[in-house]
Amino acid sequence: MASEFSFEKGDTVLVRVREHGTSGDIIAKFEGECVSFSDGAVVGSKQARFKLPFGVMNSVTLQSTEAEFEVINDA
């Protein structure tokens, strides 16, 4: 588990993307499986990659400050 996140690889997570990262109106909400963690472009900035169950895009990568995360199903 990356220390910035409260979930692990393989967990199904409800992701709420808000206008200002973790505040403001919800602009997107989805459930996705966390498939990996990686270092971001900024040093010390971890990212979580989620496999998406819909659409043309098959995954999305987010930093801990870009959304709210709620574990739905532990791996």
Instruction: Please give the share of the chain, as a percent, with pLDDT higher than 70.
Output: 84
This prediction has a pTM of 0.81
Look at phi and psi of residue 34 and say left if phi exceeds 0, alpha if psi is from -120 to 50, else beta. Answer: beta
Q: For the purposes of burial, counting CB atoms within 10 Å of the CB of 41, is it exposed (0-12), middle (13-18) or buried (19 or more)? A: exposed
Question: What residue type is 13 in one-letter code?
Answer: V
Q: Is the pLDDT of residue 7 over 80?
A: yes
Return the pLDDT at 75: 57
Instruction: Please give the share of the chain, as a percent, with pLDDT higher than 90.
Output: 47
The 10s digit of each residue's pLDDT in 12-47 is 999 999 888 778 899 989 999 999 998 866 656 789
